[in-house]
Amino acid sequence: MKPYIFITRKLPENVISKLDNRYTISMWDKEDVPVPRQRLLDEAQKADALLTMLSDSIDEEVIKAGSNLKVIANLAVGFDNIDLAAATEHGIAVCNTPDVLTDTTADLTFGLLMATARRLVEAAEFVKEGKWQSWSPLLLAGHDIHHKTIGIVGMGKIGETVAKRATGFDMEILYHNRTRKPEVEEAIGAQYVSFDELVKRSDFIVCLTPLTHETRNLFTADVFASMKRSAIFINASRGPVVDEEALLAALKNNTIAGAGLDVFTIEPISADHPLLTLPNVVALPHIGSSSVETRETMMELCLENIDKVLTGNDPITVVNKDWKLQLSH
- The predicted pLDDT at position 27 comes to 96
Confirm whether 125 is a catalytic residue: no
- Active-site residue identified among 286, 295, 300, 329: 286
pLDDT computed for residue 220 by the predictor? 98
* CA count, 13 A, side-chain hemisphere, 75: 23
Give the mean model confidence (pLDDT) for residues 240-257.
98
Query: Tell me: domain 4-98+292-328, CATH 3.40.190.10, correct?
Result: no
Cα separations in angstroms, 31 against 64, 246, 306: 27, 33, 21
Rounded CA separation 96/298 (Å): 9
Q: How far is CA 220 from the centre of its chain?
A: 20
Overall size of the chain counted in residues: 329
**Active-site annotation holder among 60, 125, 214, 267:** 267
CA–CA separation, 28 vs 125, rounded Å?
Answer: 36
**At residue 22, what are phi and psi to the nearest 5 degrees?**
-105, -15
Question: Taking a C-beta distance cutoff of 8 angstroms, is the pair 52, 286 a contact?
Answer: no
Q: What are the phi and psi torsion angles at 258 (to 5°)?
A: -175, 175
How far is Cα 87 from Cα 109, in angstroms, rounded to an integer? 31
Please tell me which residue in 160, 238, 244, 295 is annotated as part of the active site.
Answer: 238
Report yes or no: 261 and 288 within 8 Å, Cβ to Cβ.
no
Tens digits of per-residue pLDDT, 130-166? 999 999 999 999 999 999 999 999 999 999 999 999 9
What single letter denotes the amino acid at residue 174? L
**What residues contact residue 285 under an 8 Å CB cut-off, 6+ apart?**
262, 268
Question: Which whole-number Å values give the CA distances from 24 to 108, 225, 236, in the listed order?
Answer: 36, 55, 36
As a whole number of angstroms, the distance between CA 115 and CA 232 comes to 11
Q: Residue 313 has what pLDDT? A: 96
pLDDT of residue 1 exceeding 80: yes
Pairwise CA distance, residues 162 & 101, whole Å: 13
4-98+292-328 and 102-283 in the same fold:
yes
Percent of the chain surpassing pLDDT 70: 99
What does the alpha-carbon distance between residue 205 and residue 151 come to, in Å, rounded to a whole number?
A: 5
Question: What is the reported pLDDT for 327?
Answer: 63
CATH superfamily of domain region 102-283: NAD(P)-binding Rossmann-like Domain (3.40.50.720)
Q: What average pLDDT does range 296-308 have in this prediction?
A: 97
Is the pLDDT assigned to residue 88 strictly greater than 70?
yes
Instruction: Work out the average pLDDT over 297-321.
Output: 97
Is 11 within 8 Å of 29 (Cβ atoms)?
Answer: no
Q: Which of 205, 210, 159 is nearest to 185 (CA)?
A: 159
Position 328 scores a pLDDT of: 56
Mean pLDDT of 286-293: 96
pLDDT, tens digit, 9 for 90 and up, residues 25-59: 999 998 888 999 999 999 999 999 999 999 999 99
Which pTM value belongs to this model? Answer: 0.90
How far, in Å, CA of 199 to CA of 291, rounded?
31
Over range 262-280, report the average pLDDT. Answer: 96
Neighbours of 243 (CB within 10 A): 20
Q: pLDDT confidence of 267, banded at 50, 70, 90?
A: very high
Q: Is 153 strand, coil or helix?
A: strand
In the chain, domain spans = 4-98+292-328, 102-283
Cis status of the peptide bond prior to 268, with omega within 30 of 0:
yes
286 among known catalytic residues: yes
213 in active site: no
